[in-house]
Structure 1
Amino acid sequence: MKQYIADAFTDEIFKGNQAAVCVMDKWPSEDTMMHITMENNFSETAFMVKEENGHYRLRWFTPGGEIDLCGHATLASGYILFRFYEKDKEEVVFDTMSGPLTVARKKDLYVMDFPAYELKQVPVTDEMEEAIGVRPLEAWMGRDLLCVLPTEEDVRNAEVDQEKVKKLDGLLLHITARGKKWDSVSRSFAPKLLVPEDPVCGSGHCHIMPYWSKKLGKKEILAYQASRRSGILHGRMEGSRVRLGGRAALYSIAEIADTVKGL
């Protein structure tokens, strides 16, 4: 089985968010996919098999289990297909737990068409403040909890309490603020999935970009993820969908040994 490692939402290796991408002829066992994911120990490992209709069935696994949506591993998967398997195509379609997702080549960007999460405003609580270290101005809930902080510096300098984050509602926690250079600056935390901080979170921006699009009254959002690795995301709202674009860089190509049980 071929396994590629690519850094997404960056054009430099060692930045952005790394994802392992496994391209397969048939599905291994669930147990094997989880073991491969834990061996990689990235926030996501993507597994895909080509279907008869020309689409690819795509699944994402974190060290804590399978997840319903992942942006950076989808971008990385599209990048790998365009570079090695579908060199003449301008668009690939993935069938996923979140429905059909596309990745298209648009000049020097790979652009994904993702569903935007519907956000419901929720009360700011003392528990949120204790987990983040800063009291949010606003809090919103989709799949994840989105907390809006007063300043960009609050986002960059936050030292979140991972155990207290686990007790908050929502699958992930995203903290965000209006940026000085960017429309938004954010960080993402997923201790419930055994990922303390996700370096660049595509599915998180399916919360963050709808919020800032409405707040700023603009369709196009240029976002910066202020993790240690950092990343840049180009977004455009199209109704209930997010066009999420970024670049990618190849780090490695490997062959998973055929001695691995369950392949």
Structure 2
Amino acid sequence: MKYYVVDAFSTERFAGNPAAVCLLEGEMSDAEMQSLAAEFSLSETAYLRLLADGRYSLRWFTPLIEVNLCGHATLAAAHVLWQQCAIASTALRFETRSGELAASFLADGIALEFPLVVTQPLAGDTQLRGVADNILATCRAGEDLLIELADVATVQSFIPDLAAVSALPARGLIVTAKTGGGGGNQVDFVSRFFAPAAGIDEDPVTGSAHCALAHYWSQKLGRETMRGRQLSTRGGEVGVAIAGDKVILSGQAVTVMGGEIF
């Protein structure tokens, strides 16, 4: 079985978020998929299998669990199909645990059509407010929780209590702040994402979190097209554009290595 490691939401190697993409040639059990994901020890390992109708089955595993939605590994999977497998179609469709997802080939990258996650304000959530000081707002963000902090520097310097984050009733914690950007190529908001209960202390660039960040900041900034930057050590940028109940995530990717799994 062939595999590739791709740095997603980046234009250069060793930045963005790395994902392993495995091209399934036959049956593979869930336990085997999970064990291989633990062997790769990346935030996500994606498994692709061509279906009879031309779509692709796509599943995502962290080193500990299978997840319902993953943006950077979907971007990586689409990148592999176009760049390494030379798929001719400029549109791809994936069958996933979150329903059908779509990817489009662009001149300057890849666009993913994902479900928009509507954020809901939380009032008086003392457990969440105990995670950080000087929180401006707290929200439920689908499977995750979201807190807004004062500014970019506060997000950058945030040191999570991973035990407290792991105990939250959520997949992970999104920490975010606005930048004061004015649109265009500027960054409108920043974020970081922590999911220690899923085996990811801090995720480098989280596409699925931007499904909620798109909704949250569109309400705050009054725009449906924005750009976010994730302030992890590796860093990366994600374009977001709301289209009804969908969000279009856009970015680039770079293949770093490939090989064969025996």
In the other structure, the counterpart of 1:260 is none
* SS of match in other structure, 1:131: coil
Structure 1 residue 208 corresponds to structure 2 residue 230: no
Deviations 1:66-107 (A, max 9, x none): 000000000000000011224321111100011111111121
- Partner residue in 1 for 2:58: 58
> What residue number does 1:261 align with?
none
Gaps of 5+ in 2: 182-186
Identity, % of aligned positions: 36
Q: One-letter code of the match for 1:222?
A: R
1:198 to 193, 199, 203: 203
Amino acid at match of 1:198: D
Deviation of 1:170 after TM superposition, in Å, equals 1.6
Equivalent residue letter for 1:102: A
- 2:118–2:216 CA contact under 8 A, matched in 1: no
Q: Which amino acid aligns with 1:131?
A: V
Question: One-letter code of the match for 1:206?
Answer: C
Cα–Cα, structure 1 residues 124 and 85, in superposed 2: closer, same or farther, change >3 Å? farther
Task: Report what 1:73 is aligned to.
Answer: 73
Q: Which runs of 4+ in 1 moved over 4 A?
A: none
Letter matched to residue 249 of structure 1: V
2:213 aligned with 1:221, yes or no?
no
Q: In structure 2, what is the equivalent of residue 232 of structure 1?
A: 237
* Contact 1:93/1:101 (8 A) holds in 2: yes
Distance 2:125 2:89 in 1: 48
Other structure's SS at 2:217 match? helix
Question: Superposed, which structure 2 residues align to 1:121-140 within 5 Å?
Answer: 121-132=121-132, 134-140=133-139
**Secondary structure of the corresponding residue to residue 32 of structure 1:** helix
> Is 2:6 aligned against 1:6?
yes
User: 241, 255, 258: which is aligned to 1:253?
Assistant: 258
- The answer on whether the counterparts of 1:27 and 1:49 sit within 8 Å (CA) in structure 2 is no
Q: Deviations over 1:17-48 (max 9, x none)?
A: 00000011223111111110000111100001
Shift of 1:180: 4.2
Q: Residue 247 of structure 2 aligns with which residue?
A: 242
**RMSD in angstroms over aligned alpha carbons?**
1.2
Aligned length: 256
User: For the residues of structure 1 that align with 2:80 and 2:35, how far apart are their CA atoms?
Assistant: 22
